[in-house]
Amino acid sequence: MSVSAPDIPAKTKRGFRLDLKTVGPLLALALLVLLGISLNENFLSYNNLTNVLARSSFIGIIAIGATFVITAGGLDLSVGSMAAVIAGVMIMVMNWLIPSMGIGWGVVIAGMATGILLGGVAGVFNGTMITRGRIEAFIVTLGTMGIFRSLVTFLADGGTLSLNFQVADVYRPVYYAGVLGVPWPIIVFALVAIGGEVVMRYTAFGRYCAAIGSNEQVARYSSINVDNVRLLTYILQGILVGVAVLLYVPRLGSASSTTGVLWELEAIAGVIIGGTTLKGGYGRIWGTVVGVVILGLIGNILNLQSLISPYLNGAFQGVIIILAVLLQRGRRT
């Protein structure tokens, strides 16, 4: 990554023309909020909003990593299983350290470090197989998805790994407490989102991702180290999965083979709803944040009403997702 950023004329003309592609996700979000308000008076309550945002934060943080991977023309299907195995190993490490370190923040911090490290290692593995092994990202991450899922089932002996009760009490505030009434998961999600937006828009790395995703050959001729940039997106993805798990473990203090099932699809859906193109070349972090919040709100609204039969929840979800993307593509006729 020693190559400096090519000078791209960043200033493009900005009019006040309402661009659906830009406001599409926001419009969908606004409509969903209006629907929520009309269905239940508690929808806008502080408790409900913090509940939904805190719940969405795991997928959100993972989806920000996925935005980079997808923008650079890649795909990572392993994130859900990776989250499960990281959660499992973190819990085992913390339980194992209790006799030597005692109950306290020391154990929790060691557990957190393990989580981030494991995420990074898993990312290095995925990225290396894809860039150095020259295997399709879909195949590599489909493979690791199965490997990680089996590993957590094996580690848990088919059951559930539970964190020691006293350590869980120490760790609990990381999900449930916060600063000035804003729970930690929301704060971390916001910080990761702001960081991601800055990296995507204002750094060479972000521009390289877009360049590789839109045309790999041209990017290579422009002396971008395509393999290294790609590898970095997978490592970033792994680390962010680790961060998400740090916030997930204190919620229930347990991990099992059902942890993180289908998170990869939710993350990818959030990314695409937000306006990033699935085939790569264009990524938008704030859009991903909006996309993930939309997904979170759909689940929330379904639980706050009894008009729609629970058998049709999936259909409602599907309609909203398609509508949200349709709103952005409306102009292209």
Partner 1 sequence: MKLVKSLMASAVIAGSLTGAVVAQDKVTIGVSVPAADHGWTGGVNYFAQEAIERLGTTYPNVEFVFASAPDAPKQIADIEDMVSTRGIDALVILPGDPDAMTSAIKQVKDAGKFVTVVDRQLSIDGVENLYVAGDNPGLGANSAEYFKQALPEGGNIVILRGLPIPIDAQRFDAFVAGIEGSNITVLDDEFANWNRDDGFKVMQDFLTRFPDIKGVWAQDDDIALGAIEAIKQAGRENDMFIVGGAGMQQILQAVADGSALTPVDVSYSPAMIATAIELTTSHFTGGIQVAGRYILDSTLITKDNAAEYLDPNSPF
Contact positions toward partner 1, by CB under 8 A?
40, 42, 45, 47-48, 51, 55, 153, 156-160, 162, 176, 251-252, 254, 256-259, 261, 299-300, 302-304, 306, 310-311, 313
The least distance separating partner 1 from the CB of residue 51, rounded to whole angstroms, comes to 5
Which CB, 9 or 158, lies closer to partner 1? 158
The least distance separating partner 1 from the CB of residue 273, rounded to whole angstroms, comes to 19
Question: CA 280, 286, 292 angle in degrees (round to 5)?
Answer: 85
Handedness of CA 296, 298, 301, 305 (dihedral sign): negative
| Tokens of residue 100, six digits | 């030597």
Q: How far apart are CA 82 and CA 255, in angstroms?
A: 12
Which CB, 272 or 302, lies closer to partner 1? 302
Which CB, 22 or 48, lies closer to partner 1? 48
The least distance separating partner 1 from the CB of residue 7, rounded to whole angstroms, comes to 47
Which CB, 21 or 55, lies closer to partner 1? 55
The least distance separating partner 1 from the CB of residue 231, rounded to whole angstroms, comes to 31
The least distance separating partner 1 from the CB of residue 156, rounded to whole angstroms, comes to 7
**Strand residue runs (E) in 163-313:** 178-179, 182-183, 254-256
Q: How far apart are CA 76 and CA 321, in angstroms?
A: 20
| Tokens of residue 132, six digits | 């150095």
Q: How far apart are CA 320 and CA 177, in angstroms?
A: 32
| Tokens of residue 233, six digits | 């997106």
Q: How far apart are CA 245 and CA 117, in angstroms?
A: 12
Which CB, 104 or 314, lies closer to partner 1? 314
User: Side chain identity at 127, as an amino acid letter?
Assistant: G
| CB burial of residue 49 (10 Å; 0-12, 13-18, 19+) | middle
Which CB, 36 or 281, lies closer to partner 1? 36
Backbone angles phi, psi at 179, to 5 degrees: -115, 130
Helix (DSSP H) and strand (DSSP E) numbers for the chain: 14, 4
The least distance separating partner 1 from the CB of residue 117, rounded to whole angstroms, comes to 24
The least distance separating partner 1 from the CB of residue 36, rounded to whole angstroms, comes to 11
Q: How far apart are CA 9 and CA 85, in angstroms?
A: 44
Which CB, 22 or 51, lies closer to partner 1? 51
Which CB, 96 or 205, lies closer to partner 1? 96
The least distance separating partner 1 from the CB of residue 43, rounded to whole angstroms, comes to 8
Q: How far apart are CA 220 and CA 73, in angstroms?
A: 14
